[in-house]
Structure formats: C-alpha cells, structure tokens
Amino acid sequence: MKIHVKVNGKDYTREVAGNRTLLRFLREDLGLTGTKEGCGAGECGACTVILNGKTVNSCLVLAPEVDGGVIETVEGEAKNGKLSKLQEAFHRNHGVQCGFCTPGMLMSVKSLLKIHPKPTVAEIKEAIEGNFCRCTGYQQIIESVLDATGQLKPRKEEIRRVR
C-alpha cells in the first residue's frame, strides 16, 4: 500500500508491503540508517524513534500503520552540520562509546525533555529504562543529559560526595 509520512520535517510517499517494519522502511526505503536494529523484539530500544510525539520501538511498528504520521529520528538532530545541544552534551561527557544505542537514547531523552526540561536523575533513568547500553556507559549518559539541561555539577564535587 502507498503511505505518506513526514520524517524530520520532510515529506515522503512510498509504496510499502504489509510486512515492512517502520525500522526497515526508514533504513532501507528512505536510507535513514541512523536508527539501528538491536534485538528486533522491543527489548533494547536501539531502534527508538518518535512517532506522533511518542517514542516507539520502530522494529515493532509496521510501516503501513504509520500512514499520515510524523516521525523524528536521529537524523533530525544535527542542523547544517552542527550537532544539536543534546548531541553536543553526549559528545562532551563521553555519553557515546560504541555508539550503537546512541540514536535511540537521544530519541528517548529528547522525548523526556519535552515533558521535563530539567529532569531529575530518577526521571532520566526511568526515561531510558527501555534503552540498553551494552557498553554499560549509563553514568556518562545520565551526566550528558544533566549537562544538556544545565544541571551537571563539577566532577570533583561529585567524587567527593560519593566518597
């Protein structure tokens, strides 16, 4: 069937098969390979995109289901070759290790910041509950989000507090 979607502000009309997932549609039909496939079963969150304002695992959504939908992916972050504020904060705080979970992490965090512009650590943890980082770099990811929202305490202070 023919579907029409808006992805990162750009309109696309494509013919899709019933069994095409949103993930494969983005990657293979639109060439937007920023979104990754991890488990393919809704466990890992690597394929997270924002569909009509809500995060979804794009591996568990069919392309024909999103006809008329508005989709945001990691490709919508950087503008004119300049990283978004959130991406910069991930870069600065080593929130990226192997990078496979990053596109999904960014989408979950972006969605969180729309509701909580200054999230607590607990709110950040809850928001990324469905995004696995197999490098286990969660601490840096949380710090990246705190930094992006102007809440990161200087590192020395953090260390002292922990001791």
Residues of the shown chain interacting with other proteins in the complex, contacts defined by CB under 8 A: 1, 17-19, 21, 40-43, 45, 48, 54-57, 59-62, 64-65, 108, 111, 126-127, 129-131
| In the complex, least distance from residue 156 CB atom to other proteins, rounded to whole angstroms | 29
- For 73-104, letters b (16+ CB in 10 Å) and e give bbbbbeeeeeebebbbbbeebebbeeebbbbb
Q: How far apart are CA 60 and CA 48, in angstroms?
A: 10
| In the complex, least distance from residue 14 CB atom to other proteins, rounded to whole angstroms | 14
Q: Residue 1: CB partners within 8 Å, gap ≥ 6?
A: 15, 16, 18, 64, 67
**Of the two residues 73 and 131, which places its CB atom closer to other proteins in the complex?**
131
Q: Are 152 and 93 in contact (CB under 8 A)?
A: yes
Which of these, 56, 70, 59, lies nearest to 21 by C-alpha position? 59
Q: How far apart are CA 57 and CA 160, in angstroms?
A: 39
| In the complex, least distance from residue 92 CB atom to other proteins, rounded to whole angstroms | 25
**Of the two residues 67 and 88, which places its CB atom closer to other proteins in the complex?**
67
| In the complex, least distance from residue 33 CB atom to other proteins, rounded to whole angstroms | 17
**What residues form DSSP beta bridges with 69?**
none
**Of the two residues 40 and 84, which places its CB atom closer to other proteins in the complex?**
40
Structure tokens at 72: 């945001």
| In the complex, least distance from residue 148 CB atom to other proteins, rounded to whole angstroms | 18
